[in-house]
Amino acid sequence: MITGKILYKRPKTLKDVNMSYCPGCSHSLMNKILCEIIDEFDIQKKTVVIAPVGCAVLLYDYIDCDSVEAAHGRAPAIATGIKRVNPDNIVISYQGDGDLLSIGMAETIHTANRGENITVVFMNNAVYGMTGGQMAPTTLVGQITKTTPSGRNPENEGYPIRACELINTLEAPYFIARCKVTNSKSIMQTKKILKKAIGYQINKKGYSFIEILSNCPTNWGMKPKDSNKWIQEVMSKYYPVKIFRDKGEA
């Protein structure tokens, strides 16, 4: 018989199944962190996660909460409908960069602008992952993708969009932060920030936008370790990791 204190275990809300994410991808880590937070707040039965089109489309296969699967880009609109009917439920819109900043830009901005009391988790990996690595709105200048074979050229493709900065121009949002999950320290910091955001939602404070600089080892053509290094050394130079707004601390 094994005795002693359990220091670490699978969160109750995270299903014991194989994930379809690639090895080393930030999605699996963020799914787990989200589940840890849901467990810590004991809100599994009242949380609704919106599954986006993209790599996280099967989110409900991993996170054991009520879920609605959205059309591409429409997750915040669905989240709005759910939250307006059930203001006491916790609604999390989990989205990637193409979903949130390209096809769903209008829904993103207007949901933030209405100050819907939801939490948006924005997985920014600078590429369309699911479809095989095309240019995303957040693809960096010079970055090679399937549709920018010579690297993103601003003269043809424009510049990468900074989501937090954009949302920070709006009055209504309550909490806006950019995080990364590249090492133990930043993972713990990200969890703390996301937990704060969901806490704000529980206390009906309003809209939170949490961007996570994420890796995509498969489509970046890098080993997971190198991809995390790229986030540290390249990606976070263009997308500064910081808290942009925290009305709870103001």
* Three-state SS sequence of 158-187: CCCCCHHHHHCCCCCCCEEEEEECCCHHHH
* Smallest gap from residue 139 Cβ to another protein (A): 24
For residue 229 the two structure tokens come to 């290094």
Q: Mask 60-79, x = binds another protein (CB under 8 A)?
A: x---xxxxxxxx--x--xxx
Site stretch for another protein (CB under 8 A), options 21-29, 104-112, 159-167, 181-189: 104-112
Site stretch for another protein (CB under 8 A), options 56-64, 185-193, 195-203, 208-216: 56-64
Q: Angle formed by the axes of helices 26-41 and 184-202, to 10°?
A: 40
* Smallest gap from residue 153 Cβ to another protein (A): 30
When asked if residue 16 is in the footprint of another protein (CB under 8 A), the reply is: no
When asked if residue 195 is in the footprint of another protein (CB under 8 A), the reply is: no
Sign of CA dihedral 111, 72, 180, 127: negative
When asked if residue 38 is in the footprint of another protein (CB under 8 A), the reply is: no
When asked if residue 188 is in the footprint of another protein (CB under 8 A), the reply is: no
The site for another protein, by CB under 8 A, has a size of 32
When asked if residue 124 is in the footprint of another protein (CB under 8 A), the reply is: no
When asked if residue 35 is in the footprint of another protein (CB under 8 A), the reply is: no
Radius of gyration of the chain (CA): 17
Q: Which of 84, 146, 192, 223 binds another protein (CB under 8 A)?
A: 84
In whole angstroms, give the CA distance from residue 94 to residue 106: 16
When asked if residue 152 is in the footprint of another protein (CB under 8 A), the reply is: no
When asked if residue 145 is in the footprint of another protein (CB under 8 A), the reply is: no
* Smallest gap from residue 45 Cβ to another protein (A): 5
Rule CB under 8 A: which residues touch another protein?
A: 45-46, 48, 51, 57-58, 60, 64-71, 74, 77-86, 89, 106-107, 109-110, 114
